[in-house]
Structure formats: structure tokens, C-alpha cells
Structure 1
Amino acid sequence: MNKILKDIVNRHKLLLGHKVMYRPGWDCHGLPIEMKALEQIRKEGKEASLSATEIRRLARKKAVTEVENQKKDFMSWAVIGDWDNAYMTLTKDYEIRQLELFHDMIKKGYIYRQLKPVYWSPSSKSALAESELEYNEKHVSQSIHVRFPIKKLAPKLADKWKDVVPIDKLYALIWTTTPWTIPSNKAIAVHPDLVYSAVEVLHGDKSGVYIVGLDRLDAFKTELNITEEDQIRLLGNVNGSELAGTEYTHPLYETTLPMISGEHVTAESGTCLVHTAPGHGMEDYEACSKLGIEPFSPLDDEGRYTKEAGLGLEGKEAFTDGNSMVIDALTKAGALVRQRAYTHKYPYDWRTKKPIMLRATSQWFANVENLQKEAVKALQSVKMVPSVSMKRLEQFTLSRKEWCISRQRSWGVPIPALYDVETGEALMTDESVQHIIKVFGERGTDSWWGEEDDNIFVAPQYQQNGKVYKRGYDTMDVWFDSGTSWTMLKDIPDRDPTLPIADVYLEGSDQHRGWFQSSLLTSIATTGKTPYGTLITHGFVLDEEGHKMSKSLGNVLVPSVITRGGKDKKKSPAYGTDVLRLWVASCEYTKDVAMGPSIIAQISENMRKIRTTARFMLGNLHDFNHTDIVPYNQLKEIDHYMLHELYQFNNRISEAYDSYSYNKAIQLLQNFTTNTLSAFYFDVIKDRLYNEKASENSRRMAQTVLFQVLKSYTTSLSPVACHTAEEIYENYRSMTPQPESSVFKTGWLVKDSEWKNESLEAKWAILKELKGQINQVLELARQDKVLKTSQEAEVDVVINKESEAGKTVHSMDVSELSSLFLTSRVNVHDANTAISRQFEKEAVLGDGTRCKIYTQRTEQHKCPRCWNYQASEADTLCPRCTQVLNA
């Protein structure tokens, strides 16, 4: 869907006369490719012995192979582009561009390193960006209420509760769904403006005095299953601001820790007291960093506890055994008040489909906060399709404070950082990075892992400063890779410098958190402008039941099965590329769309109608040449009306293509095919085309109009069904004064203002309405078996010649009317004329004019040549056919 939509954009712009530059490209780095490359190695048990250089070699080979496979598919769908010069993010040229952009951001102060919580995937052993998360709505955690003994009240509170609350029985009560973070607790946060209560509880081993938010007292009673009034007693209330400064004892380590103020605390859940682990939560980190409380995160890359955790937790997985051991330890310490299973939404690694954690590690960040307002302001000049994308992209951009750009993988672009061996301090200055990029330009980024000597990467000015440096092996987030792709367009010759670098970005709705945003931020940071002028967002493909396509569900429909057919051609016929492309264009692509066998079969039927319509026009133009064109002022009135309809069609379909509303364009084309052409104009002109003398002027008039219709029809179809359009053009290009080698060299739709005639539109609207009313009377005669075809009928119309509709009908030549209504004869009478026929009907036309319609079988006979009932005797030619054959 994505590739074909892009191609429709490009082919339409090509027809409009634009020079189109589409250089396809692939994001080649990242965990999925590395994991896929290692799949076979892992089965053989060799992964542990592989060096980073070998992993990179395997991943590169896998990526290049997949690119070639995908390229063949994309080209088979008739996607035009510079395929011989397609870019890959793994090439030296691309990587150097990316590193130079990174260098620019360093110089402007956007890149920094910090120890703080980041999204960490134990299953991937790497930091993740927010855009790499998906949320499991059915994740089950163990939620616990834990009491922390109060050791010392804050000065303001000590006097207030001196004789009211027994401090030796006083506890701060917290609630958490991550028991594994309790060992990392460094504080308890309270909201300064909330009211907190000290409540005495007499309830078995849960007895004591608890500090709980006043707004959560009822929930607290429910959690402890307190039903009797005498089991609980309110001792006093206090503001959160007075609680701040109180000290408590950690139940597992006996360390003394503070209660602090936190604006992030709410009364929506829990107890209004928040267990705060700055090593495992961003809000926790921000609240603690203001007070100089350092993050503590005793977990390794695999999510296992380290030695610092103590309590015998070392080596235990935090999410499983570690979680259980922490709960057991709290139970033994008498600190566990309540435990239960809790189902809630939880972030997962979108690749491994396993839960992630927030974990404090030293990572490289891009400071997005300083770019947000400028980026959102710049978006106002971008055209968004659909328009609601604007709000969505703005929200995602504004909600992002920073961007963790470092990853702990081998397969990627290295972050060019050196570290002091003694202090661990990072060296990432302008001179150092510039030197490293120069080395990469000479030796490639693989040298970062392949060279033995760190000193190669140390810039001359740092060689003799008494420090020893080593390389860091973090790689860049793949969103930084893709977010750099706009640099590939910087050097296009003759490009208007006032325009955005790219006219159009087109991708799926998930890219509001990904490529759309990373491209925007890197461009704003280095150029101050958006990289795109128009941003088009499409949805995802679902099966016919509206379910996500999945191999496990067996509901995936592979494009090649549509285009080339499956093993069983009866069950899965080969529809060809144009049917696949027509399906894409027929979709409301800005939403999720359905695809399946019955849908494709319907699209194939639509394509059959299009081809049949084109074949009718081509067949009737077999002896026509541009020298046979009849001047506009010599055409019949119905031909003028058809050209007016064509003028309107060309305008409407142009508007649809210009606004990227391709499904609307296809609807217009199908409506034009079915209603304007097949059911109206073709019916009316068949007699002229088939039965007049070949060179007869009236026949040439119809061919003239058909020729114009065919050109517009082919052009409007060509961005979508390009093979069919080329095939049609191949069959009529010899009729044109200047034949081209391709329909895509002929230009876009002609909008000849001479064709525009709104007065004819009103007139023919009446005649078409009258035709519909007459068809109803004819149907009555057919049902009564008086008529087999409309040609056997004579029709009388009684209508007031002074009415607007009457003026139109009375002004028409009766032979034109019989041609329009496909009848043997038509007689028009003024109002109050008495008519007696077998079938009659009274009708009210759109302007309110009443008329009466009568019909009967004609006394004329069928002409064996033209099949019209206009012969005076059976088995004899009608006067017109006699004249044609005599000639």
C-alpha cells in the first residue's frame, strides 16, 4: 500500500509536468535484522563466540539480501524510481552524512550524556525509544501495599502530632505494581496540596497507624477489608507540604530515607504516597534530582539483580524470581500489608514482545525540549493528509522531552564517543568527532570494532594530554538513521531553496512517533526548517473481518498471490499488478483498510468494466484519425453536453488527485464509466456509430467526442492502473497528431473552457430525468409482454410548452428524442392534449412540471440492418439504411 501510494503521487506529478526525483531507500540497521541474521547461528549455539565484527558482517549480508528481494517485489508493482541508485543506511556515504548531521547537533548543544532512567528491554539488552514500545492491555503484575516505619516527623508536623499520633506505631503506606523496584527505593513522594490522614487501624497483624491520602481512605478500607467502624479511627489530618521532610526506615535495609514533595502524585489510585525509585522512573528521577538524590538501579543488562541489591537477590530476574523474593522479604519484615494480581496496560518491546523496564543507565540523549516549540510552529506550514495528523504529530512531539539515541547493539552506526580510561568521562568535542568521522571516511564504520588500537581514533590535539582513551561501543537509535534520510536530497540541482527539501513524506500512522518526528527534529535542529512540504499518513491493512494480518492466524494475503496467483489458480487467480494498484487507490487509505479474496475479486470486476469501456471506445475509433475531428460548433447538442460532462469530470478528478484523495478519484472514474458513459452516452450514440455511413458527419461527431473522452479516461486512469493505461494509449496514439512513446509523456487532463456549458447541464438534466420516467412506462409494457425492447415502442409526451421543462422538451427535434430514449418514435404534445394508448403514467419533473407519458407498440417493422423499428414493411430496410447501402 505504501509503495503504490507513493507511485501514484509520482506518476500524477509526472503527468502534470513536474520533474520527479524518487530515490528508494532502506533502513538497514537495528535489532530485528541483527536477530534475524543470528537466528541460524543461535540454533547452532555459536552466537556467544561471535565478535561484533562478525555480527556486523552477518547482519549486513542479511540486510542486502532482503533489500534485493524487496526491490524485485516493488519493481514488479510498477513502482517507478531510481532503483539502480537506491540508498541503504548501511552504506558509507549514508553513514557519513548521518554522522555529520550528528556532529552539527553536537556543535549546537543538542547532544548530551546522562545517568537517568530510560526504557530498557532486558530481552533485547538495549535501551529503547518511546516509539519502539507497544502496550499490552492484559499484562498481569503483582500489586502490593507496603508500610514503611516512620522514624522522625518533619519539624512542622512533630509539634502538630506530638500528643496525637504515636510515632512508634506510625507507617507511611505506599502501593506499587512493581515490587522488584522496592530495593531501589530512595524516597516517598507526597503532593504538597493534598490532605493526608493519620488513621489508627485495629485489624490483626495489619494493626498500626497509617498515613494515607484523605481522598483514598475509602479505598484503603476496602483494600484492608475493614468493615467495622471500631476497627479504624481518624487521628488527624495534615497537608502534604507539612509531611515533606519526614524520615522513614526502609523495611529491607534499615536505611533512613526522606519523604519529599512531588507534583506528579495524584489521588486517582494507590494511597497518595508514591514509592520513589529514581533509578526506575522518570518522574521519580526528576523529583529526586532537584534534591540531589542519585538514581540507584541494581540491575544488569538482562534485567537481573546485581550484587548491590543484596538480600540474596544477585542473579535473579527482576520480573520473575526477583519479584517473588522481594515480596517474601517484605512479608518476613512485616512490611507487606496486601498483595494481589493486577491486570493493567504495560509497555512491551515491540520486537521481542516482552515487557520492558525503566532503568537508570548512562545514555546519550538529544535534547528535544529545546526543539519542541520551534518544531510545532514549523509544522503549521505543512499540508497534512488527513488534516487530523497535525494534532497527532503535535501531541507526540510536545510530549517528548528528550530522545535517547544510544543503543547497546553491534549492528548500527557507532556513536563517536571516546572515554577516559581512568575517570570514564566522555570525550565528544567538535575536534574529536570531526577526526573520528575522517577516519570513518577512510576506513568505514566497521573499523570502530575492527581496529585494535584505540589511538587511531584520538584526534592529534588529545594525543599528548596525559590521558588514555578507549572507544565506547554504543550505536545510534535506528530512528536517528531514518531521521537523517532527508540529507540525501540536499544536493538536488535546480531545486528551489525556499521549498522544503522533500515535497512529500508518505508513511503509516505509526511514524508520527517515528520517522515523521525524527526527520522533523533532526531537520529543525540543523536547518531550522521542516524537511517536508506535505505529510501523508496511511493506515494499516487488515483482513476482510477487520483483524490484523498475522502468520499465526493464517490470514495474511501476500501481494504476489494477487498479482501472479497461488498454486490453485481457480482458488487464487492471477489478477495482475493493476488490480493490486486499483485496490490501493480504491481504499480510504487514511484509515485502516480491509483486504481479502472477495474484496480483490470485486476490484477485478471493476477493472473489467474499465477495460470493457476502453475497448468500446477503441473499437469505435478504429477508422478515426485526428484529421477527422469535427469542430466544436458543428457537433450535435448531445455531443456538446457530453463534452460539458467531460469538462466537469476532468475538473473533479483533477481536484481529487491534487488533494491526494485517490479513492475519490476512482469513485469519480467508476461513476463516469457506469452512469455517464455506459448508461447514457454510449447508448445514445451506438446507432450513429454502427449504422451511419463510415464517413458520415454525424458519425464523425460521435467519434470526435469519443476520442476526447478516451484521452481523458486513459490519463485519469494512468497514475493507478499504469499498465492498462499504456495498453490503451498504445492502441490510439497513432490517432494523435504527435504520438508519444508513453502515456506519461502526454500531459495531464485537458480542461477546454469551450466545452463548459452550464445551460446545457440544466437542459439535459431535465431530458435525462424524463428518460428515466419513460423507462418506467416502457417497463410496464415489457412486463405485460407487449414489448421486448424499447426500440419497439412509440412514446407520446404531453407537457405544457410554457413551463421551463416543457420549453426544453418542445425545443428538441423528435428524431433526437427517439435517439435519446432509444424508441421507434417520440411525439411531443402540449398540455390538455387527449391521447389514448395502452400504457400511461403521470410524472412530476424536478422543477415541478407535470407531464403525461403514453406508450404502445409501434406499427413500424424492424430493419434487419440497424434493428430500429422504422421500416414500412417486414424484412425490408429502413429509409436510412437503404440510403447508406446505396451509397
Structure 2
Amino acid sequence: MCADTPENTPEYKDTLNLPKTDFPMRAGLPKREPAWLERWEKIGVYDRLREKEGRQPFTLHDGPPYANGHLHIGHALNKTIKDMIVRAHQMMGFDARYVPGWDCHGLPIEWKIEEQYRKKGKNKDAVPVVEFRQECRAFADKWVNIQREEFKRLGITGNWADPYLTMNYHAEAVIADEFMKFLMNGTLYQGSKPVMWSPVEKTALAEAEVEYHDKESFTIYVKFKVSNADHKHAGAHVVIWTTTPWTIPSNKAVVFGENIAYGLYEVTGTPEECWLSVGEKYILADNLAADVFKKARLSDDQYTRVADVPVSELADAQLTHPLAGAEGANGEWDDIRDFRAAEFVTDTEGTGFVHCAPSHGMEEFELYRDLGMLEQVITYNVMDDGGFRADLPFFGGKYILNRKGGEGDANKTVIDKLVEVGGLLARGKIKHSYPHSWRSKAPIIYRNTPQWFAGVDRTLDDGMGDYGDTIRERALRSIDELVKWTPQTGRNRLYSMIESRPDWVLSRQRAWGVPLTCFTKKGALPTDADFLLRNPEVNARITAAFEKDGADVWYTEGFKEQILDGLADPEAYDQVFDVLDVWFDSGSTHAFVLRDREDGTEDGIADVYMEGTDQHRGWFHSSLLQACGTKGRAPYRNVVTHGFTLDAKGMKMSKSLGNTIVPEEVVKQYGADILRLWVAQTDYTADQRIGPEILKGTADSYRRLRNTMRFMLGSLGDFTEDQRVDPADMPELEQWVLHRLAELDHQVRQGYKSFDFNGVWQAIFTFATVDLSSFYFDIRKDALYCDGDTLNARAARTVLDILFHRLTTWLAPILVFTMEEVWLERFPGDDSSVHLIDMPDTPRDWLNEPLAAKWAQIRQARRVVTAALEVQRVDKVIGASLEAAPVVHIRDEAALAALKSVNFADICITSAISLTGDPSPSDAFRMPEVDGVSVVFEKAEGEKCQRCWKILPDVGMTPAFPGTCGRCAEALAD
């Protein structure tokens, strides 16, 4: 019995080595993060990292965002992933460079300036083009500065003082120079073919500039009469179906399928309101006839199939356009329509016949191109604004779309005229997925216009044929031989796109961009050898002029004469004023960023391109095509792709739905580190979700990790080097922690190298919360708080120091602000920063698999003991585990020996423990998943130490320190 009772024992709290730190529990990130940003800028962290010598360069090339608005959550995801890649590689020993950049040319900016003009009643065409371009430049510059500050607030590191802009004079000069390489190597040509065209924006579009939305369209079934009198089916009608009535005036042919079964159908009755008459005959695909007549409101008993129509009979037929001979048509549609078989015709939808307007459909265009008949079938009925040419009978001046992109009057006018001339069998409406411009959100059309193309299958005369002689060959071989894809599905997606893509449409009929710097010979045809002026000296003059004054000089009076002076007759050539597709701009960035800058790369090739999955048809795609045309290979070694960011329910974010998450608001509420942690917690290779509840969960994970770091800081406050213990002299528990660190070091580095941030975070977080907080810290708190100068206490502090250096540097690429705060709490100083430190090397000889296997057994047994004691605690038999002294039955002799070789009572945080190999009683506590371990509960014997709270028989045996156990008395004496 202890001589001293709790009432008359001294207060020992102040003798404990409790954690001491000013590191706050509450982070206060929104208010504190800006100060760290200022500090990093003041001490020049990014520039100081560049001064580290002897490092292998590592370059992530930034895919340029567009400079025309505030950041959205996709921007935050994208830039944070890039930042983690750069920071992690820097801390793994590389010279990791990051030059941020912006796309500055193109229609979105031009569109904004035009909107401003419209509000002021100003006519864009009345403004000098250079003045208009300067307004576009000022608009882009404004948004570059705004976005730069928004990116920096997210903790993104990089050369912010000297970013790249596609509108910088040097960039414009290089873009023009890269274009002129296409001019010189035989890739460039002018052609006329249907391209995706935006009537609202009055320009051609690339596939990457198009998105698909549901659209309600008119559908019409149109009659083409078999007109040759000697034909077996003379007077019958072939029926076509289309969702674009406006293309009927441009119809030049009808095609059928060679393997489709066709029949001749006769109308035997009609309802009251119907465009069909009894006795009329129609040729239709048998699989579709019933559906066609249903659309015409005929019942099954109002028509009958009267004959087969073999394909051979179709081939002999001549068809007339429904508007042929119409009064006022002026003979516009009187020619016989071409009628032939085509492979793309099916009998799964429509009528089994396809109406061909090769000026407005790629399949039809290619069919007649291959037949050598384009001159007979190409029309120019639709102008750049989507209106019919003024002199087109009946339809001149009608518009496919109105000014805002809504339904114009062209479709209705065409339908009404067809009804008037008896050319319509049925009509209706259909809701279907339809291409829209992603900028104006208006529907687009296919329109045949003269454009400039890069031929992807043209043999290149450039001496760079290591990976093929055409752009397509080089691109496909690059994809498989030179590039690593994360995830691998990115390779499949881009490969299939390159494999089947048509020639690249380079030209846009706009003003704000880099012009197609070439000249065409007056009077020559595009097919003539001398149609394009190919002169290296002319090209050099253009590049030099752009380098000095920017691309605006192309539009100044007398520029053609100045450039051609003494090299070619200016009067003999026309100057091209189309501008380059902005994807050519961004596709050329490898040349003026990677190749030309001092912080670029020696070979002009990036280690990583990283963007969203939409860039398989965008920047990844255009960069690959452009570089294969000018460098002979891909400009990247790794391509990393992230998915789209959705709301918490998995829906696409939309202002109209009110489900958008704005980065600025998240930063204001939680701080940028929480947003960065959300990025690290997601599998970015798929679509990710974000919402208030998800962010709350992220903040909770953050708090748990912060508590782990706070415990380490508090326990290391008085740690000195003379307390350090050599790993070989440490207790097994510390050696096991070092083993886990060696395992984790490999996992973290491999994860960062393979861009697996979710894997890195989960590994570190699980280690910090499960292995450390719930196990190691829980066990060693007793030694840290209560021991004097013991091996256990010194070894524990040594391990905590080792943990500190690794956890802070491992996590610094993710939690850039918090790890800086943690670091400065321990290592303050004007020039101190965790971001100037490398991840420390972790000795491989810390790995100890036999020890790890042994401690896996120990932890399994501990689980059973802990669960058994929890039952007693819930039943209020005990209040804490230190009140227990359980008996643990271990069936396996080796496991029993392992437990006996360590202080298992300390590991289980009990005051005592008994280990036995005897058979356990039937009422012993067991866990089904842990075989061979059972626990019999016993209370600890003795008195409660008033210092460490263990219940031990030796409490009160040291008069100098009443109410303490022998261990605590010894610590107090020291």
C-alpha cells in the first residue's frame, strides 16, 4: 500500500517533458498564406534553385491557358498538378524549370473586342486592322496580369517575372518562321474542301474548337424524280432524308448502297392532310419504307410494295432536282443529278438514299474528289456569314443562323419552297447531338471554302526522316517509340486521332493572330509549281521584321513591297491576309520556349507536357503535328493527362446550374493548401468531383496531418545533436520505423516520378496517421513525456528528427504553405525555406524485412489486446488501458517468442501484461481475423503513479518522490 495518497502527493505535471511548440492547432491559411508568398518572392526561391549546379535539367512545358477571364477550377487543378511535378522533381535533385505561358491570339479575344464595338455601335470593318489588333493585344495583356496573380496565389512556382506569351514579338517571329518551314518543305497547300465553319464568327474552325450539344433540327424527306422516260421506273421518286434543309439548294447528286435491298412502293390511299397522292410510286430501302410512310402519315394499308428494285436498275436511272423547272429558278437546278453507289450509304436510318451536297459534307466531297468530278459538283451558295449568295433564286439573302446563333430563315424558306413545288414527302423535327463553336456556343456548318492546309501525308523534303517521311508517319512513330503516356489510354486516343485525321486546316479568316506569311503568284492556280513564292531570303526578312516590330507590320502599307524589294516583283504577287489557327501558335511553343530560351532545353524537347484529356485533340495534337513537320519528331517525352472537374454529384459545372466551384472562393474559405490537397487526393487521370462536403473532408484530413506535424515539433523543441542515437543502437521499435521510412522513401520517389500524387499522398497520410499517430507516437509518448535521459527517449527523438526532415520535404510539393510553416517553426531564418531543400537520402540498409515481419506479428497481437480492452472500457470496467494487466495467450511458439522479446505492455499501453503459450479459456476474447491470439482481461495490481499514471506495485517505494513509480522516481532524481 502506498504511504502517500493522491491528496498529499506533489504536483508532477511540470516535471513531464510535454510537447512545447508555438505551432498553432488552427492553420488560419487564408490569412497567412499571402505572407509566405511575399517571403518567397523576397528571398527569390525560384531563382536561387536555378543557381544549384551540377543538376540534370527537368522541364515541364506549360500548355498555355487562354488570356481572357478569371480562373476556373479546371485551371486550379491543372496548374497544381504541374506545380507538384516541378517541385517534386526539384526536391529529388533535378534542376526543375517551369516557364508559365499564355495563348494570346485568336477568336475569343477578337470576339470580346467586337462585343465592345457592338455595344458602342462601332463597325469593326471601319477600324484600321492594326488599331483593332492593338486593342486585342491590350485585352490579352490585362488578363495575363490578372491570371498571373491568381495562379501565384495558389502557390504555383515558376518564372513569373518572364513568362512566355504567344503575342510577344519573338514568339510571333518564331511562329511565322515555323509556318514558313511548312511553306518550304512542301507541306503547305491551298485547297477547297468542306471545313467546319462558324457563320456567327465568320471563320473556319478546327476540331479542337468544336463541342457537341443537343440541337433541335428540321428533318425533311425530299423527292427526286426518275426522269428518263425509257426507264423501267420512270415517274417514280427516289426519296432522301436530311436534317439540313438549307443544303438542298446545293444538292448535286444522290447516292445509294450496293448491298441494300430496295423496293418500289405505290400509294393506295391517303389521309386528309398529306403531300402524297394515290398512284404515286416511291423507291425506298425495304428496311426503312414503313418508317418513311409513317412519317408521311400513311397507315400500313395505304401503301403496297409492288416490285424489287435491283441496284442495276438504280444505276440506269436519271434524277431531277425537285426545284428543276420551277418558275423563277432561272435554270439553277435543271441539270440531271448524278446518281451512283457509295460505300457510306446504310439502311439503318433515313431512306436508304443519301442526298449529296459535296460543298457541305466531307464524305460526299471525298467521293467526288476521288472520282475527279469536283468541278461538276462544288457550289458556292453559302457566304461566310451563313447567308445564301444574293443572286440564288428563291433563297438569296436568307440566313442559316441569325446573328446570335439561333435558327435563321433559310431552313423554313427552303421547306416552304419544296412544299410549293410538290417536292416534299414529309417533314418533322429531331433532337440530336450537333457541333457547336465552343467560343460563341452557336451551331456550325460545313462549308466549302478556299483554305490553307498542311498535308499530313505529303512527303517532306527536310532531311529529318528518322521517324518517317510524312507528318502522319512521324507522329504515329513518335507516339509509340518516343513518348510515355500517363495514363496509357491517352496514347490510344491520340494514336487513333492521328491515324484517321484529315489534312490540317491552318487558315482562319480573322484579324487577331499571326498571319500566314506567304505570297501567291497572280494568275497562277494553286496546283501550279510556282503558285507559292518560296524564297529563303524573303522568309528571313519577314522573320526579322516580326522580331523587331511584331506581326502587326504585315498589315502596314507598303510591307509587301519592302519585303520583296530586289527579290521578287511585288506587282506579280498577292499577299495572304488569313491568320494562322491558334493551335499552330500553341503548337509552335516548343520552338520559342524550349529551343530559344536560356531556361529551355538543349534539344528543344520537354520532359513533360501535362494537360486535360480534351488536349488530345488540342495542344498535344497540334504540338505533335507541328513539331513533326519542323523537328521530325514529337516535342515531348512524357504526356500526362487529367480528366474534367465535376460537381459533387458528378455533373458538369455550369453557371446556369449554380454548381460551379470558384478557386478564389475556396482559397478565401480554406486556403490554397486545402485546394492543393484536394488535387492530391483525387485520381486526376479520371474525372474528379468537388463540392462543399468533399472540401470539408479534405480539410479534416489536413487537420489530422497537421496534428501529426505539431506533435513532432513539440517533441523536438529541445532536441540536440548530442542526443542522436545511431540506428544500429536503437530499440527494435525505432528500427522498425526506419524500415518503414526506407520503404516509403522508395514509394514516394517512384510515385512522384510517375506523377502519381494520389498514391504519394495516400502512402504518406496512412503512414502518418496509422503507423505514427495511432501506433508509434501512441507507444512512445510515455517514454518521451516521462523518461529521463534513456535510450528509448533519445532514440525516439532521433527518429522524430529523421521523420521531420522526410515528411516535410515529401509533402512540400503538395502542401507548399503548411510545410513551409512547419519548417520555419523549427528552422527560422531570413533565408530559410523548405523549398530550398532536397528530399534527404534514406539509407537502403534501414530496410529490415525480418524485423518488419516480426513487428507485423506484434501489431496483430496488439490489435487483439486493444480490442479486448475497448470492450472493458465500453462496459465501464476500466477508464483507460493503463488500468489493465491482461493475460495474452499465443498459440504459435515463434509469435510468443517475438512478443516476449519486446516490452509488450508498453506496446499495448497497459501497466502490465502476461504472455503465455497455454491453451486459452473458452471465454477469452478473440478476433476471427487474427488466428491464435486470445486475451483474458485482468486489472493491473498496485497503485497509480501520479506522474505516468501506470498502476504498478512499486509506486510509493521512493520516499523522495512520493506517489511515483521507480521509473519516474529515477527520472526525477536525474
- Could you state the TM-score of these two structures normalised by the residue count of structure 2? 0.83
Instruction: Tell me if the contact between 2:89 and 2:752 (Cα under 8 Å) persists in the aligned partners.
Output: no
State the partner residue of 2:584: 480
Indicate if the aligned counterparts of 2:590 and 2:604 stay in contact, CA closer than 8 A: no
Which residue in the other structure is 2:283 paired with?
211
Q: 1:307 aligns with which of 363, 366, 390?
A: 390
Distance, in Å, in 2 between the alignment partners of 1:259 and 1:501 is: 52
Q: Distance between the aligned counterparts of 2:121 and 2:339, measured in 1?
A: 50
Partner of 1:297: 380
Q: Report what 2:943 is aligned to.
A: 861
The aligned residue for residue 761 of structure 1 is 852
Q: How does 1:508-547 map to 2 (within 5 A)?
A: 508-547=612-651
| Post-superposition CA distance 1:619-651 (Å, at most 9, x none) | 111121334221122111111112112222222
Structure 2 residue aligned with 1:504: 608
Shift of 1:805: 1.9
Structure 2, gaps ≥5 residues long: 1-76, 271-275, 324-332, 402-406, 458-469, 957-961
- After TM superposition, list the pairs within 5 Å mapping 1:11-90 onto structure 2: 11-48=87-124, 49-90=126-167
* Aligned equivalents of 2:954, 2:440: Cα separation in 1: 84
1:716 has 2:806 as partner = no
Q: Please give the residue correspondences for 1:123-522 in structure 2 after superposition, counting only pairs within 5 Å.
A: 123-137=200-214, 139-152=215-228, 165-167=232-234, 169-203=235-269, 205-206=276-277, 207-228=279-300, 231-239=303-311, 243-244=314-315, 246-252=317-323, 253-289=333-369, 290-294=371-375, 295-317=378-400, 320-369=408-457, 370-380=470-480, 381-419=482-520, 427-431=532-536, 432-451=538-557, 454-458=560-564, 460-463=566-569, 467-487=571-591, 488-491=593-596, 501-522=605-626
Whole-angstrom distance in 1 between the partners of 2:946 and 2:156: 51
The alpha carbon displacement at 1:280 in A equals 0.8
- Which residue number in structure 1 is paired with residue 179 of structure 2? 102
State the partner residue of 2:970: 883
Give how far 1:424 is off: 8.1
Give the SS at the match of 1:218: helix
1:579–1:607 contact (8 Å) kept in structure 2: yes
Q: Residue 404 of structure 1: CA displacement?
A: 1.1
- Give the residue type in structure 1 aligned to 2:175: Q
* Helix, strand or coil at the partner of 2:97: coil
AA at the equivalent of 2:437: D
Q: How much has 1:832 moved relative to structure 2? A: 4.4
Distance 1:865 1:882 in 2: 9
**Is the Cα contact below 8 Å between 2:943 and 2:951 reproduced in 1?**
yes
Query: Of 723, 733, 739, which aligns to 1:628?
Result: 723
1:812 aligns to what? 901
Contact 1:861-1:869 within 8 A present in 2 as well: yes
Equivalent residue for 1:578, pick from 673, 677, 683:
673
Partner secondary structure for residue 938 of structure 2: strand
Distance 2:539 2:874 in 1: 88
State the SS of the aligned residue for 1:197: strand
Distance 2:569 2:183 in 1: 22
Do the aligned partners of residues 784 and 173 (structure 1) sit closer, same or farther apart at CA in structure 2, a change above 3 Å counting?
closer
Aligned residues: 850
The residue correspondences of 1:577-656 to structure 2 (distance < 5 A) are 577-656=672-751
Query: 8 Å contact 2:283–2:309 — kept in the other structure?
Result: no
Letter in 1 for 2:907: L
| Identity percentage of aligned residues | 35
The answer for the alignment partner of 2:24 in structure 1 is none
Query: Which residue in the other structure is 1:658 paired with?
Result: 753
Q: Which amino acid aligns with 1:104?
A: K
SS in structure 2 of the partner of residue 462 of structure 1? coil
Segment of structure 1 superposing worse, 198-207 or 630-639: 198-207
Distance 1:740 1:57, change over 3 A: closer
Contact residue 500 and residue 530 of structure 1 kept, 8 A: no
- Check if 1:113 corresponds to 2:190: yes
Taking the aligned partners of 1:462 and 1:500, their CA distance within structure 2 comes to 34
Aligned partners of 2:808 and 2:822 also within 8 Å: yes
2 CA distance for matches of 1:44 and 1:405?
32
Measure, in 2, the Cα distance between the counterparts of 1:116 and 1:833: 87
Cα distance in structure 2, aligned partners of 1:98 and 1:189: 43
Change (3 A) 1:338 1:606: same
Relative to structure 1, is the Cα distance of residues 268 and 56 closer, same or farther in structure 2, using a 3 angstrom cutoff? Answer: same
In structure 2, the CA distance between the partners of 1:282 and 1:383, relative to structure 1 (3 Å rule), is same
Change (3 A) 1:731 1:312: closer
Please give the alpha-carbon distance, in whole angstroms, between the structure 1 residues aligned to 2:701 and 2:302: 77
Q: Which sections of structure 1, spanning at least 5 residues, go unmatched? A: 566-572
CA shift in 2, pair 1:338/1:845, >3 Å: closer
**Cα pair distance change 1:496/1:71, threshold 3 Å:** closer
The AA in structure 2 aligned to 1:448 is W
Deviation, 1:453, is 5.9
Distance 2:611 2:937 in 1: 59
Q: Shift of the alpha carbon at 1:733?
A: 4.5
TM superposition shift of 1:830: 3.2
In the TM superposition, residue 591 of structure 1 has moved relative to its aligned partner by: 1.7
> Matches of residues 554-565 of structure 1 in structure 2 within 5 Å?
554-563=658-667, 565=668
The residue that corresponds to 2:63 in the other structure is none
Cα distance, 1:320 vs structure 2: 2.5
How far off its partner does 1:458 sit? Answer: 3.3
Q: Secondary structure at the match of 1:825?
A: coil
In structure 1, C-alpha distance between the alignment counterparts of 2:491 and 2:920, rounded to whole Å: 65
1:260 partner letter: R
Tell me the residue number matched to 2:43. none
- Helix, strand or coil at the partner of 2:967: helix
Is 1:827 aligned to residue 914 of structure 2? yes
- Contact 2:647 / 2:660 at 8 angstroms: preserved in 1? yes
* Residue type at the aligned position of 2:476: V
Is contact 1:103–1:430 with CA below 8 Å preserved after alignment?
no
Whether contact under 8 Å (2:170, 2:546) holds in the other structure is: no
* Pair 1:668 & 2:668 matched: no
Task: Point out the more displaced range, 414-423 or 665-674.
Answer: 414-423
TM-score by length of 1: 0.91
